[in-house]
Amino acid sequence: MPLKIYRELEIGSDFFQAKQAEDEIVAAAGAYNYGEEVIFALRLSLEEALSNAIRHGNVGDADKRVHIRYAIDADRIDITVRDEGGGFDPASIPDPTAAENLENPSGRGIMLMRAYMNKVEYNPKGNQVRLVKMHRAG
């Protein structure tokens, strides 16, 4: 087994291609014997990040691409997803657990990524998210 898997992918603003990329990354993590809980967290968070990039970042524009970079080893999974959209301010997304927002679906994906990953970071423009999951808590 390699010491580290590193790969860069570029996909269209297409959910089928996003699913293929997600499956590839999950399979790579599986090669390092990450447990079911980590794989679940990875799949859910990656699905949200890719969906947000396609739906909100690239607004479904078939001419825009989603850029994915991932590195996986025995200790951590590190994924960056970047869209070609104008970006957003993550702090501007309302808290989906606040009483006045319970009926509003906005922000739930970001909340889930933050709950399941060890680290969720956005670039200053807001068109790139970095997801980090540690093999062991840390």
Report the C-alpha dihedral over residues 36, 40, 41, 42, rounded to 10 degrees: 100
DSSP label at residue 55? I
What does the mean pLDDT of the chain come to? Answer: 90
pLDDT digits (tens, 9 = 90+) for 39-85: 999 999 999 999 999 999 999 999 999 999 999 999 999 999 999 99
Q: Could you tell me the domains of the chain?
A: 5-134 (3.30.565.10)
Reported pTM: 0.90
Confidence of residue 98 (pLDDT cuts 50, 70, 90): low
Q: Is the pLDDT of residue 34 over 80?
A: yes
| pLDDT band for position 107 (cuts 50, 70, 90) | low
Task: Give which of 70, 82, 81, 80 is closest to 31, Cα–Cα.
Answer: 70
Among 95, 99, 124, 125, CA closest to 110: 95
